[in-house]
């Protein structure tokens, strides 16, 4: 049986067909899910692969009620609308694609980025805010990049020759979105993203954590409205706000040439990443490995090295060999903390979850 994996972002739609042996049969990256032409291209792509029997949809946020992969029926679809209200930038594009594919003769399975974090302890999920906000509005920490973390755990266990359930890992997913996650007993026990994917690390266009007092001051004294603030924090901050570019390759190239803004962007990015990774390690009783994944984590060797230099207190040493072509170790055996590179494959994790659910 072939599985169609659907990953709908706000600006692009990624499709892949995965075979029984987890081989990629076909893949395509299309434009915005909001474009009618993209919908037509997607339907044509599906029609061209009659061996597909089910579709696994990446849903960034499952809300308070959905965490495990689930076959989409009327009740599930209604619950997803509630999740869309919590994550208006991330869930609606996925639901738009899900609805467009509903007429096809496929079984549709929703797979959630928040699911891997569903068993985090209350100490990690709870904000120190008034009870009404927590209980009535449901404001809590959910965590994201869970599909990437689940795949990273699976691959790290294979590389280390150990059971996933026994490993204590920190996974640094460094891409356009960035997060760090502490993993114990096969699931997340702490992670840097919270109620939304804005919290935590500096990202390509997202700010990461900012003093809420500063945001309140901007609203009350600076006249910055909610829509303007949302747009700025989501799309105009991060390395883009610091250096004028969201591409880490540009940041590193300009920094090596002495550009002050790029140097600042690089150093802020590394400072925050190292501090948060160290914080994640504090949620574990030992550290069996540090995993780098995501576009920056996989490809920006200077960023990996700079982060590791700041983590010497944890027994982490900078990588001493070039990254492998595939997944693999970044340092020689005997290092106190193994460093691993795992290529992000949310599509394969979704494929696994769909097959597990459908038997």
Which residues are catalytic, by number?
A: 113
Sign for the CA dihedral angle at 301, 314, 273, 66 comes to positive
**Strand positions, DSSP E, the chain:** 2-8, 13-18, 24-30, 52-59, 70-71, 107-112, 168-174, 178-184, 187-191, 289-293, 328-329, 339-341
Distance in angstroms (rounded) separating the CA atoms of residues 94 and 75: 17
Tokens of 87: 């994550």
Between CA 14 and CA 284 the distance in angstroms is: 35
Alpha-carbon distance of 271 to 201, in angstroms, equals 9
Three-class SS state of 89: coil
CB 59 within 8 A of CB 94: yes
Whole-angstrom CA distances from 254 to 175, 248, 301 are 19, 10, 15
In terms of Cβ atoms closer than 10 Å to its own Cβ (0-12, 13-18, 19+), residue 321 is exposed
DSSP state of 326: S
Query: What does R_g of the chain's alpha carbons equal in angstroms?
Result: 20
Secondary element (H or E) of residue 75:
helix 74-86
């Amino acid at each position: 049986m072939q599985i169609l994996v659907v990953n709908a972002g706000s600006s692009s739609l990624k499709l892949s067909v995965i075979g029984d042996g987890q081989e990629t049969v076909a893949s395509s990256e299309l434009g915005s899910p909001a474009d009618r032409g993209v919908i037509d291209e997607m339907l044509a792509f599906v029609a061209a692969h009659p061996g597909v029997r089910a579709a696994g949809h990446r849903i960034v946020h499952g809300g308070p009620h959905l965490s495990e992969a689930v076959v989409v029926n009327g009740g599930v679809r209604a619950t997803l609308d509630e999740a869309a209200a919590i994550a208006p930038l991330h869930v609606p594009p996925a639901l738009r694609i899900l609805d467009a594919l509903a007429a096809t003769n496929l079984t549709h399975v929703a797979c959630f980025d928040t699911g891997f974090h569903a068993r985090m302890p209350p100490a990690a999920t709870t904000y120190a805010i008034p009870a009404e906000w927590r209980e009535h509005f449901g404001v809590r920490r959910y965590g994201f990049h869970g599909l990437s973390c689940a795949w990273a755990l699976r691959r790290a266990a294979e590389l280390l020759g150990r059971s996933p359930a026994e490993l204590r890992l920190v996974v640094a997913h460094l891409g356009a979105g960035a997060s760090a996650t502490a993993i114990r007993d096969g699931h997340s026990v702490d992670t840097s993203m919270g109620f939304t994917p804005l919290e935590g690390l500096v990202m390509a266009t997202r700010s990461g954590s900012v003093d809420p007092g500063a945001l309140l001051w901007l609203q009350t004294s600076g006249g910055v409205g909610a829509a303007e603030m949302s747009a700025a924090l989501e799309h105009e901050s991060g390395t883009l706000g610091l250096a004028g570019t969201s591409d880490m390759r540009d940041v590193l190239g300009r920094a090596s040439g002495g550009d002050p803004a790029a140097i600042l962007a690089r150093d802020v990015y590394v400072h925050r990443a190292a501090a948060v990774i160290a914080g994640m390690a504090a949620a574990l009783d030992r550290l069996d490995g540090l995993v780098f994944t995501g576009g920056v984590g996989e490809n920006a060797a200077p960023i990996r090295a700079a982060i590791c230099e700041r983590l010497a207190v944890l027994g982490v040493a900078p990588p001493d060999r070039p990254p492998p072509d595939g997944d693999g170790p970044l340092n020689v055996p005997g290092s106190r903390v193994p460093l691993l590179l795992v290529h992000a494959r949310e599509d394969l994790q979704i494929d696994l979850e769909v097959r597990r659910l459908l038997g």
